[in-house]
Chains A and B, each alone.
Chain A
Amino acid sequence: EDQVTQSPEALRLQEGESSSLNCSYTVSGLRGLFWYRQDPGKGPEFLFTLYSAGEEKEKERLKATLTKKESFLHITAPKPEDSATYLCAVQANTGRRALTFGSGTRLQVQP
């Protein structure tokens, strides 16, 4: 059974204080690992897809990396508007297109 574990559950940062969120996964053959951002009362917003170990993707202050067992979402010099819940999900290469989500990391960036 595919599993995704995210840590920490919650993270409070000062504006400009860089940090990383962790996503550990087990999957029967990885087709893709996904990062989403979710604001309160809204649907998950797609950020990145990573396909293979060693791959990196960047978008503004965010950089996602992937190894064979985990992914990291690095946040550089965060701003208050980066406050949100960040969700990690995996899709197996079994042909089943369901995403298995982690429980998320709630990030709060204080000014």
Chain B
Amino acid sequence: DAGVIQSPRHEVTEMGQEVTLRCKPISGHNSLFWYRQTMMRGLELLIYFNNNVPIDDSGMPEDRFSAKMPNASFSTLKIQPSEPRDSAVYFCASSSSGGVEQFFGPGTRLTVL
């Protein structure tokens, strides 16, 4: 079975540019989570969706960040405009209905110059 799929795996961009990260959750999972990992703050939740609806976006740092889940098999995290402090590894995770375990994708390493 395919796990969580993320693209791109690496992204290098310049300050001020728009960045879009993509995620395909595990088939059949109805909850999707976006996390960010940095050396300073570790892994932190940005937002999560249940049945394609955003439930908790309290971790989204500011209005420059937005996330969508147009259907059960696809989600995007967009940063516009990007800043150097956004450099981090962004992970997507999914979970099944009623399940507590979250399964992570390989991550997207974002570097903003």
Which residues between 64 and 111 of chain B lie within 8 Å of chain A, taking CB atoms? 91, 93, 95, 100-107
A45 x B104 contact (CB < 8 A):
yes
A97 x B107 contact (CB < 8 A):
no
Size of the B side of the interface (Cβ < 8 Å), in residues, is 23
Chief secondary structure at chain B's binding surface: strand
Contacting residue for B107 out of A42, A96, A101, CB 8 A: A42
B95 x A98 contact (CB < 8 A):
no
Show the binding face of B for A, using Cβ within 8 Å. Answer: 4, 31, 33, 42-45, 48, 50, 55-56, 59, 91, 93, 95, 100-107
Show the binding face of A for B, using Cβ within 8 Å. Answer: 31-32, 34, 36, 42-46, 49, 87, 89, 91, 96-99, 101-104
Chain B residue, CB-CB nearest to A44: B104
What is the CA–CA distance of A43 and B100 in the complex, to the nearest angstrom? Answer: 18
9 A-B pairs within 8 Å (CB atoms) are namely A43-B93, A46-B102, A97-B31, A97-B95, A99-B33, A99-B45, A99-B102, A101-B44, A102-B42
Instruction: Tell me how far the C-beta of A84 lies from the nearest C-beta in chain B, rounded to whole angstroms.
Output: 14
A43 x B106 contact (CB < 8 A):
yes
The verdict on A32 contacting B100 (CB below 8 Å), with A42-B107, A43-B106, A98-B48 known, is yes
Q: Which residues of A contact B104 (CB under 8 A)?
A: 36, 43-46
| Nearest 9 Cβ contacts at the A-B interface | A43-B104, A98-B45, A101-B43, A32-B100, A44-B104, A103-B42, A43-B106, A43-B107, A43-B105
